[in-house]
Each structure stands twice: as structure tokens, then as C-alpha cells.
Amino acid sequence: MMTLLRERVACSLAERLDQAPHPVARSADAGCPGSRGAARAKMAVDGLDLWYGDYHALRDVSLEFPEHQVTALIGPSGCGKSTLLKSLNRMNDLVEGCRLEGTVSLDGHDAYRSVSVADLRRRVGMVFQQPNPFPMSIYDNVAFGPRTHGVRRRDELDEVVERSLRAAAIWDELKDRLKKNALGLSGGQQQRLCIARALAVRPEVLLMDESTSALDPLSTAKIEELVGELRRDYTVIMVTHNMLQALRVSDRTAFFLGGEVVEAGPTDGLFTSPVDPRTADYVAGRFG
Amino acid sequence: MGSRSRSAASHSSVAPLRRRASSLLLRGLAYAGAAVTVLTLGSLVVFVLVNGVPHLTPSLFSGEYTAQNVSLVPALAGSLLMAGAALLLAVPVGVGAAVYLVEYARRGSRFVAFVRVTAETLQGIPSIIYGLFGMLLFVSALGWGLSLASGACTLALMVLPVIMRTAEEALLAVPDAYRQGGFGLGAGRLRTVARCVLPSAAPGILAGVVLALGRCLGEVAALLFTAGTVAQIPDFGGSGALGLLDSCRTLAVHLYVLVGEGLHLDEAYATAVVLLALVAGLNALASAAAKKMRKGSAL
């Protein structure tokens, strides 16, 4: 495992020879520009504390998510990475006894106070761990979001459905059976359909919560490739258990432990020269 | 215990034999249980058919009930009207309550637990108590008299907990992933429930409605006190909505009265055949509908 990881790191670095080694940012200055130059922060959390009842799930988390980059959140189970993801589009509102302090911002505006929930969730889409297409046709699945936000005209919906399925790289597979029930698709197809469904409302940010962990390796590879393309138009924030996936796909990585950000920065730097010994242990596979 | 496990270890051929014997015994019991169930139902149906079918004469369906010709048409109409009206009242309220309990109320709240216990208790109350309550409230206090309206309201109260509990179970069985998917796209709770949750719960809800329908069609005790036994079709033509205040009898009540009078036992059997056919037919219709719904949602 370790040697494999080292090789992957080396490969990854070789591919990016043009990039100088980065000084690794600690959580305090995690917002430094990423590996792709001075991208502005699309989303940011500042001093975020979150409780589920008495359980203190996130502790003083501050992170920035640069526009048109893929940020990976890694860490062992229960470290708070999914919790952080869910607080970015207020899915935590649905959890009983969830309370949070600090700010989450989208384009510099407070996501909890100056944006409506419906609008926030339209602009910050989400793809879940388990593919969750609705029990309706493929077409209706993709059209669900646009219809929710008031699109009624047939030609407009047709256009959105095709565009979204193309963006999720699944149009060619599904174009002849748009009227078929979505639950008849394979797991990998379902997940790409869910990505298409999320893209149909023209989000600006896409949250992916371990979206490949329920899929086979081939489907995973397809989705990873897709994520690489999506960064051109969207800002992607993904939670992953798979460090190699973070390494393959992401521009920046944040390492979580016990509800805190231990270290965050450009992915290559974090994996090759971690500053914090706990990060070094984790990325070397010594725990987690 | 210790000796048994030792014997099982040393005489390894004995244990499988014993296990086989007990498995044979269990299998026998299971078959016997199934056979008793099927035979009971089968003999009941055969008994009713043998005694009833020969007496299914055209005069039974003549429309007008007289002392000489105990036509069952008024009772058939009464059954359909009574059950239809009761479900019309109970289904929206029951499903609405279930939606509130599952989708809107705080999960694990005391209120939800209280409502659930109440509904379960109500399900266990003998129907004659509902009849008594219906008589006091609808017949006397509200002054509706022995009528279709009083009977239907009483039946509605009786089947409300059945519908509510089955709808609640059906909603609880819907994966949270559908809700998250809906909310995650910016849909509100109403749209998420109406478009993502209810459609996949519909077959389960329908099963509860069928159960309730069966109870409505089979009920006698509660109706004797509230709807009376007048063998006529409520007069909606002549008196409009006031027909709701006419007394009428359902097939089950008709059957009970015929047997009680003892003058028309053959016609009572024939009525039983019609009632059986009605229940079987409506059940078949409902399961066909459920199948269609599942097909729409799962294939």
C-alpha cells in the first residue's frame, strides 16, 4: 500500500513538473491560492463550529474553496468531512439537534442569512454516496430540478435534459430510453444520472459525498474522469475515503481529524511533504 | 450442556439425524398450518357458493325490496355508497395525518408516539363501541338520525386508524435518499413529499385502503346503531343531498337481518355470494392498481 502510494505520488508529480513545490499551508492560512494560480474563493467557511446535540462535530474550521478547482476532503470516518460538506448547502438543517456557529459564504455572501435555502441548494448542488434516482423516468429525474425552479416549457426542458446528460457523459447511453424508469439503470449509470440531475439546475458548486464509494472500479474511473472535466465549469468539493482518488482528481486537499482541519493545501504538497506528523501518518497509510 | 456438545462432537452422525428429524417436524407443522388456512377458507367459500348460487335468481336483483321478494339491490347500492363515503372521509384525513407524522413532525417526538399509541388502541376497540359512539354523536347529538351520513361517519372513524397506520408504515419505508435528493435540488418539503415520497409509498397506502374497504363492507354492529336497516336506496334523486340523511342497509346488514328474521335463509346465502364476489372483485381491482403503480415506479 505504501509503496503503491509513493509511486502514485511520484507519477502525479511527474505529470505536473511545471509546478514548483508548494509551501504547505496549515489550517490557519488554508486559504492561500491553489496550484492553479490565484483563483478566487467560490465558497469559504470561517470559524465554523457545529454540534449534533451535545456532540461537537466540527471545531473552528476555516477553509476556502477556489473557483474551478476540485477540493478533496479526506480523513478517517467520523472526522467531520461529510458534516462540513453538508453544511455548505444546509443539508444539515434536516438533522435534528444540529446547531452551528461561524460563517459559510458563497461568493462572499453569507450562505445562511443572505441566500434562501432553495436558492442556495440550486447554486450548490449535491451528489450523494448512494445513487438516489427518483422512482420515475430518466427524463423526469433530470427535469425534476428545473421544474422545481419554474421551468415548464417542453422545448426548454428537452434542451436542459440533453445538455445535462451530455455534461454527465451519459447522453449516448441513455438518449434512446429517456422514458424508461431510472431504477432500471446500473449503479454507475444511476450515479451519473444523479450528477446530470444535479447539473440540470445550473449549479455553481458541486458537492460530492463519497460519490464513488458504492460503485465498481470502472464506474468509479468514469466518474473521476467526469469530475476532471466538470472543474472547467464548476467548483467541485468532494469527500473521499480513498486517498488515491484525492490524489488523482483533486487540486487541493484538506485533511480532517476529530472535527478539525489538520492541514489543507495543494494536493501534491499535502501528500509529498505534509507539515503535520498526523497528516504524514495518514497519507502514508499508518492509520485511518 | 457440556455433555451434549461433547456428544455432538464425538458422535457426529447423531446430531445431523436429530437435526433432520426436527427440521422434518417443523416443515410438517408449516405445511399443516398452511393447509388448515387454505382448507378453512376453501370450505367456507365452497359452502357459501353451494348454498347460495342456486338461489341467485333474477328476482333478487329486481330493484324493489318487498316482504315477499327480498331484493338485494338496495343493499348492494347501500354497501357501495356507505363504503365509498366512509373512505372518502377517512383516506384524505388518514393519509394526511400519516404525512404529517412522518414528514413534518419532529422525528421521535412525544406527540408522534402518543398519536401512534392512540391509533393502535383505536384499532383494537370493538366495532360496536364505535356504533354506540356514532349513535350518541351523529344520530342523537347532531340529529342526523339513522342515516347513510351517520353510518359513513362512524365507519370513517373506525377505519381511520387502519389507514393512518398503514400509510405511516408505507411512508417510513420510503428511503431517506429520495427526500435528500429532493431537498438537495432545492425543492421544498411539499414538492419533495408530493413528487418523490408519496408515489413510492402509494402501493403500501393502497393496501391499507383495501384493508379499510374490507372492514367497511363487512361491518354490521356499528351500522345497526347508526345507519339503521331500511332496505331502500337513499333518495338522492328526489331530495338531493338530503338523501344522505336517509337510512339504508349494507349487504352485510341485509344478510344479518335476513338470517335474523329466519324467513329467507336461501336469499341470505345468495346475498353472501354477492358480498363475497364484491369483496373479491374490489380486492382484485386494488391489487391490479398496485401492480400498475409498482411497475411505474420500479421497473
Residues B40 and B125 in one domain: no
Domain of residue B172, CATH code? 1.10.3720.10
Q: Does B2 touch chain A (CB under 8 A)?
A: no
| Three-class secondary structure of residue A233 per DSSP | coil
- Are B297 and A181 a contacting pair at CB < 8 A? yes
Q: Is residue A14 part of a domain?
A: yes
The percent of residues above 70 in pLDDT, for chain A, comes to 86
Domain count, chain A: 1
Last residue of a domain, one of B17, B34, B53: B53
pLDDT, one tens digit per residue, over B158-186 is: 999 999 999 999 999 998 889 999 999 98
Q: Does B195 touch chain A (CB under 8 A)?
A: yes
Q: What is residue A75's DSSP assignment?
A: -
- The mean pLDDT of A228-235, rounded to a whole number, is 91
Q: Is the pLDDT of residue A214 over 60?
A: yes
Query: Grid cell 455548505 — which residue?
Result: A88
Q: Is residue A122 part of a domain?
A: yes
Q: Is the pLDDT of residue A22 over 80?
A: no
Q: What is the pLDDT of residue B246?
A: 84
- The mean pLDDT of A224-232, rounded to a whole number, is 91
Q: Is residue B58 part of a domain?
A: no
- The mean pLDDT of A42-70, rounded to a whole number, is 93
Domain count, chain B: 2
Report the alpha-carbon distance of residue B133 to residue A263 in Å, rounded. Answer: 69
Residues B106 and B180 in one domain: yes
Chain B residue closest in CA terms to A143: B185
The percent of residues above 90 in pLDDT, for chain B, comes to 54
**Which of A90-94, A102-106, A124-128 has the weakest average pLDDT?**
A90-94
Cell of A281: 501518518
Chain A residue closest in CA terms to B295: A181
Q: Quick one: which of A274, A107, A112 has its CA closest to A204? A: A107
- The mean pLDDT of B42-47, rounded to a whole number, is 94
Residues B83 and B148 in one domain: yes
Q: What is the pLDDT of residue A26?
A: 36
* pLDDT tier, A31 (very low <50, low <70, confident <90, very high otherwise): very low
Type of residue at B153: C
Q: What is the pLDDT of residue B14?
A: 63
Q: Is residue A249 part of a domain?
A: yes
Q: Is residue A177 part of a domain?
A: no
Residues B14 and B69 in one domain: no
The set of residues, in sequence order, having a beta carbon less than 8 Å from that of B188 and lying 6+ positions away, is A118
Whether residue A187 contacts residue A129, with contact meaning beta carbons closer than 8 Å, is answered with no
A91, A117, A144 member nearest B180 (Cβ): A91
Q: What is the pLDDT of residue B299?
A: 39
Cα A53 vs. chain centroid, distance in angstroms?
Answer: 26
Residues B6 and B125 in one domain: no
Q: Is residue A217 part of a domain?
A: yes
Q: Is residue A174 part of a domain?
A: no
Cα A47 vs. chain centroid, distance in angstroms?
Answer: 20
Nearest Cα of chain A lies from the Cα of B150 at a distance, in angstroms, of 41
Q: What is the pLDDT of residue B59?
A: 81
How do strand A70-74 and strand A98-106 relate by DSSP bridges? Answer: unpaired
User: If you average pLDDT over every residue of chain B, what do you get?
Assistant: 87
Q: Is the pLDDT of residue A19 over 70?
A: no
- Are A144 and B182 a contacting pair at CB < 8 A? yes
* pLDDT tier, A101 (very low <50, low <70, confident <90, very high otherwise): very high
Task: Quote the domain boundaries for residue B42.
Answer: 2-53
Domain of residue A54, CATH code? 3.40.50.300
3-state secondary structure B131-189: HHHHHHHHHHHCCCCCCHHHHHHHHHHHHHHHHHHHHHHHHHCCCHHHHHHHHHCCCCH
Residues B109 and B243 in one domain: yes
Residues B20 and B101 in one domain: no
Q: Quick one: which of A91, A88, A117 has its CA closest to A238? A: A88
User: If you average pLDDT over every residue of chain A, what do you get?
Assistant: 85
- Are A135 and B183 a contacting pair at CB < 8 A? no
Q: What is the pLDDT of residue B62?
A: 80
Residues B166 and B146 in one domain: yes
Residues B184 and B278 in one domain: yes
- Are B187 and A148 a contacting pair at CB < 8 A? yes
Q: Quick one: which of A12, A1, A41, A54 has its CA closest to A270? A: A12
- The mean pLDDT of B44-69, rounded to a whole number, is 85
Q: Is residue A37 part of a domain?
A: yes
Q: Is the pLDDT of residue A4 over 60?
A: no
Residues B144 and B270 in one domain: yes
pTM greater than the 0.80 cutoff = no
Task: Quote the domain boundaries for residue A9.
Answer: 2-133+199-283
Residues B132 and B176 in one domain: yes
Kindly list the residues from chain B whose CB atom is less than 8 angstroms away from the CB atom of residue A184. 299
- 10 Å Cβ neighbour count for B227? 33
Q: Is the pLDDT of residue A24 over 50?
A: no
Q: Is the pLDDT of residue B298 over 50?
A: no
Q: What is the pLDDT of residue A34?
A: 40
| Three-class secondary structure of residue A174 per DSSP | helix
Q: What is the pLDDT of residue B295?
A: 64
Q: Does A53 touch chain B (CB under 8 A)?
A: no
Report the alpha-carbon distance of residue B218 to residue A162 in Å, rounded. Answer: 54
Report the alpha-carbon distance of residue A9 to residue A2 in Å, rounded. Answer: 10
* pLDDT tier, B109 (very low <50, low <70, confident <90, very high otherwise): confident
Q: What is the pLDDT of residue B70?
A: 79
**Which of A179-188, A247-256, B9-18 has the weakest average pLDDT?**
B9-18
Q: Is the pLDDT of residue B43 over 60?
A: yes
The set of residues, in sequence order, having a beta carbon less than 8 Å from that of A81 and lying 6+ positions away, is A73, A74, A75, A239, A254, A256
Q: Give the ranges where chain A is alpha helix by DSSP (H).
A: 2-15, 81-88, 117-123, 138-148, 154-167, 171-174, 187-199, 217-230, 243-249, 267-272, 277-283
ipTM above 0.85, yes or no: no
Residues B226 and B116 in one domain: yes
The set of residues, in sequence order, having a beta carbon less than 8 Å from that of A112 and lying 6+ positions away, is A90, A103, A104
Q: What is the pLDDT of residue A35?
A: 43
Q: Is residue A175 part of a domain?
A: no
